[in-house]
Structure 1
Amino acid sequence: MVREGYSGSGPGAFTPDGCAVEVYERMPVGAEPDVIEQAAPAGASILELGSGAGRVTHPLVERGFAVTAVDESAEMLAKVRGARTVHSSIEDLHLGERFDVVLLGSFLVHAPSGEQALALLSACARHVAPGGCVLLQREGASWHENLPRVRHSTGGKVTVASSTEVGPGVRSVVVEYAFPDARWTHTFLSRPLSEADLDELLRSAGLTFDGYLTEDLTWVRALPAPAAP
């Protein structure tokens, strides 16, 4: 069942948040594996929350990381190779294990409700090992402005077509994917977060902001909060 406010169009299977499985098979990986590799110890255990079809998973496995890939879409997980897979929503995940690195990419922290964003970060906090870290990807500054914005990828074109306010602090975003043989759209909800918003969410989840990993401030490292004396 697709969530309210989320939808997708085009051929093939879709996830509950409107993502087309085939799109994520086709999309090339960007700089994410490099950012993660530089922030993680060699051979670290990584819990990847919202792995999709393995776009980031596969390069991490190839670089020697022990990856556990979690996704709520069985169709997405069926595409993942070389990693342990867990079919679950992030919010409901309770593995009873701790990992050197917990990874939450794809702007998932910009959930439309504060409660959902806190649930996502709480899942990160309960699975990160003492001395480990949580790596978060967030939207860049002005991400919702100057639209439409076009990016060409291998064999196709990605267009952030529109971003419309649909509630206090919540926006409905439409992204279009065009390839020579097929087209898809994805509509999803996003709640832009200020640095203060993110810091408060991290604290509420039992995490502390440790710094930015990229110059565009889209990748954040957080640490488990020190235990109270």
Structure 2
Amino acid sequence: MTAPLTATVRRRLDEAACTAEPCDVYDGHGARFYDELVGPDRSEIREVLAVARRSGPAVLDLAAGTGRVTLPLLRIGKTVTALDLSPSMLQRLRNALPAGSACDLVLADMRTFDLGRVFDLAVLAATSITLLERDDRRRLFAAVRRHLRPSGSLVLSVAGDAVHRTLRTSVDREISVRSGGNTVVYLQSQQVDAVGSRRLVNWMPLPLPTAPGPVPVLTTRLHLLDAATVADELTQAGFLAPDVIPVRSPGDADAESMMLLHSRVEGGEYRAG
């Protein structure tokens, strides 16, 4: 397997006479890294729970991952169906579930799922909408519509203006991640394509080995999407124009780092808010 590498990661590996050992950040040991990197982040949780409290009991958590949103939804008494495409992510979520949790884990593609039941609320957090190309986003919205009650709604998160501008720039930085009681340093390398529509992100542990050998490189590819684009696609898919809910982030103005878009299906009874 050939790893998709940023120019910086490729250069650093070549200088160290090392090779990339590729891993999707959502699969295998990448799922553990993702959980350690993203799991402690509480951004958007408060705002998603506020929407959920105004909704009925049945919640569909799309791209649920290791349960960053699923677990808080369960704690406020919701019955949650957690859907994800990665068996590794769902296994970590399964291990984290309290005994007797009202949670159904579903291994499925959020673009094509068919569960045979409907929900009061569908959630797509962690800006996971950026995993999908435009046609796939259209398929996702159609699948969500089929699974919502007439009174149901969809809430999803997108990057705010300040973060969106940052994401449009290729940048390298070192980050620290707590893992098994230790702190591990990674090079996080982001490379934006020539037309500014997609970004490739690598995470590589540092320091590199002093002798030639394989180095794990965790990878994801994401689309660059602003709130206006997603809102327009929602209305084209038969949702009402979404309410914008600012996400509070320490040190940032509301909605600068992240915002939620909350909408119901056109013709439904629910008033988004």
Work out whether the TM-score is over 0.5.
yes
Instruction: Give CA-to-partner distance per residue, 1:143-166, whole Å, 9 cap, x none.
Output: 313834666665656765223215
> Which residue in 2 is equivalent to 1:50?
63
Q: Does 1:187 align with 2:214?
A: no
Q: How does 1:182-221 map to 2 (within 5 A)?
A: 185-214=217-246, 215-216=254-255, 217-221=258-262
Picking from 188, 195, 200, the partner of 1:173 is 200
Letter in 1 for 2:198: R
Equivalent-residue separation in structure 2 for 1:153 and 1:197 (angstroms)? 33
What letter corresponds to residue 260 of structure 2 in structure 1? W
TM-score by length of structure 1 reads 0.78
Q: Tell me, yes or no, if the aligned pair for 2:170 and 2:192 is still in contact at 8 Å.
A: no
Moved more, 123-132 or 144-153: 144-153
SS of residue matched to 1:207:
coil
Higher relative contact order (CA 8 A, sep 6+): 2
**What residue in structure 1 maps to residue 267 of structure 2?**
226
Using the alignment, how far apart are the partners of 1:171 and 1:123 within structure 2? 24
Instruction: Give the 3-state SS of the residue equivalent to 1:97 in structure 2.
Output: coil
Whole-angstrom distance in 1 between the partners of 2:205 and 2:242 = 38
**Contact kept in structure 2, 1:19 and 1:186, CA below 8 Å:** no
Correspondent of 1:135 among 136, 155, 165: 155
Partner of 2:114: 94
Kindly tell me: are residues 210 and 170 of structure 1, through their superposed partners in 2, closer, same or farther at Cα, counting changes over 3 Å? closer
- Work out whether residues 23 and 177 of structure 1, in 8 Å CA contact, stay in contact via their aligned partners in 2: no
Measured at CA, do residues 87 and 99 of structure 1 come closer, stay the same or move farther in structure 2, by a change above 3 Å? same
SS in structure 2 of the partner of residue 138 of structure 1: strand
Calculate percent identity across the aligned residue pairs. Answer: 22
Tell which deviates more after alignment, 111-120 or 128-137: 111-120
Distance 2:68 2:108 in 1: 18
Bigger radius of gyration: 2
Contact 1:160/1:173 (8 A) holds in 2: no
**Shift of residue 21 of structure 1?**
1.0
Amino acid at match of 2:190: S
Residue 190 of structure 2: aligned partner: 162
Moved more, 79-88 or 27-36: 27-36
1:59 to 69, 72, 79: 72
Residues 25 and 193 of structure 1: CA distance in aligned 2, closer, same or farther (over 3 Å)? closer
TM-score, with structure 2 as normaliser: 0.67
Change (3 A) 1:184 1:37: farther
2:210 alignment partner in structure 1? none
Distance 1:158 1:213, change over 3 A: farther
The gaps in structure 1 that reach 5 residues or longer are none
1:20 aligned to 2:40? no
Residues 1:170 and 1:225: Cα distance change in structure 2 (over 3 Å):
same
Q: 1:22 to 1:110 in 2, by over 3 A?
A: same
Unaligned runs of 5+ in 2: 7-19, 208-214, 247-253, 269-273
1:71-86 to 2 correspondence within 5 Å?
A: 71-80=84-93, 81=97, 82=101, 83-86=103-106
Please give the root-mean-square deviation of Cα atoms over the aligned residues, in Å.
3.4
Q: What is the deviation of 1:35?
A: 1.3
CA shift in 2, pair 1:147/1:6, >3 Å: closer
Q: Aligned partner of 1:202: which letter? A: L
